[in-house]
Amino acid sequence: MRVALIVARYHDFITDRLESGARQALLERGIATADIVTFSVPGAYELAQAAQRVAEESVFDAVVCLGCLIRGETIHFDVIASAAAEGIMRAAQATATPITFGVLTTNTAEEAMARAVDGTANKGREAAIAAFEMATMYGTL
């Protein structure tokens, strides 16, 4: 199985941890390091377009989108969170590749850090496990 990780650089103090959690979960499931490829994008808004493009190349069995949005003083948070969620879902529906949503939408950096800790509470880990399970299911269809 080959898995692509699409990782937003914005708030990389969080997304780097999400990527580590995702990568660890995939390694634990027997996926070789060489079969886990990371693609970096500027922010959460770009995740969907990158995920769809990577999925359309048909060399990956699953795509995991990882990002972090922290609420600020304007509605920008809401606009980007909505666009990222809807875009990732549309990309998943448009391709024959499972694409999972590992984008944190939090009120504070502290809340984001709590979801990017080492271990089973890491949301990047959860998104990778979901991608692995979906790719496994797709393989049985």
Compute the distance between CA of residue 117 and CA of residue 124 in angstroms, rounded to an integer: 10
Compute the distance between CA of residue 46 and CA of residue 11 in angstroms, rounded to an integer: 14
Compute the distance between CA of residue 27 and CA of residue 14 in angstroms, rounded to an integer: 20
Active-site position among 57, 76, 86, 120: 76
Q: DSSP per residue over 93-109, as a string?
A: HHSSS-EEEEEEEESSH
Handedness of CA 130, 98, 45, 12 (dihedral sign): positive
User: Is 11 known to be catalytic?
Assistant: no
Compute the distance between CA of residue 95 and CA of residue 57 in angstroms, rounded to an integer: 10
Compute the distance between CA of residue 132 and CA of residue 118 in angstroms, rounded to an integer: 19
Name the token pair of 91.
């990309």
Which residues are tagged catalytic?
76
